[in-house]
Structure 1
Amino acid sequence: MRIGKQGTLSSAIATATADRITVRGYDLSADLIGNVGLTELFYILLTGVRPTEMQRLFIDAALVSVAEHGLVPSVAAARMTLAAAPDAWQGAVAAGLLGCGSVVLGSSETAGRLFSELVSEAADTSSPLAEVVRNRLAAMRETRTPLPGFGHPLHRDEDPRATRLLALADRHGVAGAHVAALREIVTQMPAAYGRTLAVNVSGAIPAVLLDVGFPMKAMKGIPLLARTASLVAHLLEEAANPIGFAMAHAGEAVISYQDASSQPTDAT
């Protein structure tokens, strides 16, 4: 019994024989090893072609910008997992990545989808971008839909990572329709929400990358790939200087126990 949509029974990414490994049509040993970096290989794997210099630069910049941010939830999960299972590095990395969702790290995909929809709607309807953004923000406010890519609990006035990425886009002349959509949201935010939220790194990443031609459907891969590198570093440090159990203890210390009998009951 077949379940789900079936594609052609083939893959265009890689194959191997006894004397050759082929990756997207390139000979891995002769063409890629020693000739491309991981960022270039990542793009080749995604698209089958080598990135332009601008694409490489901005994918690199995006990866660097979101790789590390201290003892955040994904890092805490990974370090506490390694503390409990010192031989399970793969499990500890997986534990950290499993928490990359719509609130932490994964919002770059949601923001990118929003920018892409705004740009497409403006083009398809021949409507001014300002009008399209105004209508979308009003609808989101009416339905209380979260606005992805804006606001940060620590960087309230400015996320320096976002500022840097957008400045690089301006400097290199690649800021296009998606950066324009982001900036139009910033312009209209006070009227729509009564306040201004800072553009965060998860808003800047998709705006810039979409403008250099990065595939929208792979946007979540940017924070996943970047944070993997950071998690490996944290696990190496955890192995040498364990703090995982201390983090778990600190978390338990600030949470008070509340007896079930004192909990409100659901009258329904």
Structure 2
Amino acid sequence: MYSDFADFIRENQAELLEAWVREMKKQEDPKIASVATDEMYEETTREFIDLLVSKLDGTENQAEFHGKLKDFAEKIVLLGWPIHFITASIHNFALLTYKGMRGKELFFKREDNPEDDAYYRFEKWLASIYNKIVTAYAETWEKTVSQQRQALQELSAPLLPIFDNISVMPLVGTIDTDRARQIMESLLVGVVKHRSEVVLIDITGVPIVDTMVAHHIIQAAEAVRLVGSKPMLVGIRPEIAQTIVNLGINLEQLITTNTLQKGMERALALTNREIAQKEG
């Protein structure tokens, strides 16, 4: 049905490629320009053209085409090309193809039957390709974000044994409900695994402590207490202390310090130890 489009694209690939890269570079994001070389543009656009041609002339079945389309979508997601840049690129390529075919009189007068009309077929082809690529891009993006979120959660709440029976959990970044659950699980598993008598929850790297965050931290500390360990909250900066007071959050059941160093000194004292300077 679209073999004439495929033939035109294949026969004029070099010309279309050059014009398309030129148009893409006019609309590119500065972030893309900083990492995308001319070779990368050419390779990616050539791959896209080959993908279109294989779809248009029917040389591949649907499963093969869908597989290649997913691979292509994953590639452009990993390259960091935003969706608005992709959609603009598809539109530019379609416009270049349309102008080229009209210039070579490959578009004829309108037919009585809409399905035979070149304009109708062109719009139908463009809509089909556009929808498939945007859908594949969205699916790949969601999958990538989900994998990154999972990896971040796995790495963002480690319980680190520092001394015998003393462990530290450094928290960095925003704490939401999902991450709070991960923190709780890591704490409970780690306390038992490392036989921690004292656990220091370090919030130095947490930018905002509001009612919800404080609630999650108190819950985590209470869970640590229930499994027989002493929780400590360290890294309380002046602005966070003021926020906690203004919110009326009760931390009386928690040992608190403003630095990890002071917290470690308290933890050693609680386990009947201290750091002494070696003489000589």
TM over 0.5: no
In proportion to residue count, which structure has more helix? Answer: 2
Q: TM range, normalised to the smaller chain?
A: under 0.3
In proportion to residue count, which structure has more strand? Answer: 2
Q: Which has the larger radius of gyration?
A: 2
Higher relative contact order (CA 8 A, sep 6+): 1
